Amino acid sequence: MPGNTAYDNDGVTDWPAWATEPVRVLPPDEAWLVRGERQCRRLDTVLAAYLLAPVEHVGSTAVPGLPAKPILDLQAAVADLGLAGDVAALLGRDGWHYVPPELDNRPWRRFLVKVEGGHRVAHLHLLRLGHHRWHQQLVFRDALRNDLALLRQYAALKASLAAEHAEDREAYTEGKAEFVAAVMRELTPEQARPSIVEPVDIIPAARWPAHRAADGNPAGAL
């Protein structure tokens, strides 16, 4: 597999320190939104040949006022997960590490981790545009942004799970699954409509920066 990977050339797992970092949930930080926007714009540019829609900042760092692990979650829509090798080769030059599906154990996505200073700072989830996970991530993010009571419930759950599963990232993630599922079940059809799910023939790649909030930084800024 081209690019940086989470295993060595002999296929023997070689776990770097960033792969086993403890779960740390920090107080809300406005800088997460700025960093997320910059990373989205950067990836829109670098991966323009592969994307079917603008890269989206999802997860807790995309929700103002929500405590979170200080790691951006970004999702990108591609036509075929078989493109992951090409994407990994491009992003490997920029500090991204490809996690093979046999280690990730989530066959519906391809997963990359951006590492800086030996610590993970961002995740990139490659998905097919029509996959329900793409839709779910956007809808859940928007629900949290628009419902303070829901945000507080989720913040309390995250704090509890982080205390209980500080050394087990998978258990922490799994512990949130039922909450997310319950929220999705309770949404009205109008609420369950994501804010942005437009394919490239509606928003040409060249116009994507116009759909980003200007922050005074060039599209390639990190």
pLDDT digits (tens, 9 = 90+) for 66-87: 999 999 999 999 999 999 999 9
Residues 155-169 as b/e (b if ≥16 CB within 10 A, e otherwise) read beebeebbeebeeee
Q: Where are the domains of the chain?
A: 4-195
- Would you state the pLDDT for residue 20? 65
Q: Phi/psi at 6 (nearest 5 deg)?
A: -90, 20
Q: What tokens does 155 get?
A: 């913040």
For residue 161, is it left (φ>0), alpha (ψ between -120 and 50) or beta? alpha
Q: What is the pTM of this model?
A: 0.77
pLDDT in tens, 144-163: 999 999 999 999 998 888 88
For the chain, which ranges sit under pLDDT 70? 1-15, 17-20, 188-222
CB atoms near residue 53 (< 10 Å): 21
- Distance CA(105)–CA(42), nearest Å, equals 27
- Would you state the pLDDT for residue 152? 95
> Minimal CA–CA distance to 55: which of 214, 211, 191, 180?
211
The topology (CATH level 3) of 4-195 is Beta Polymerase; domain 2 (3.30.460)
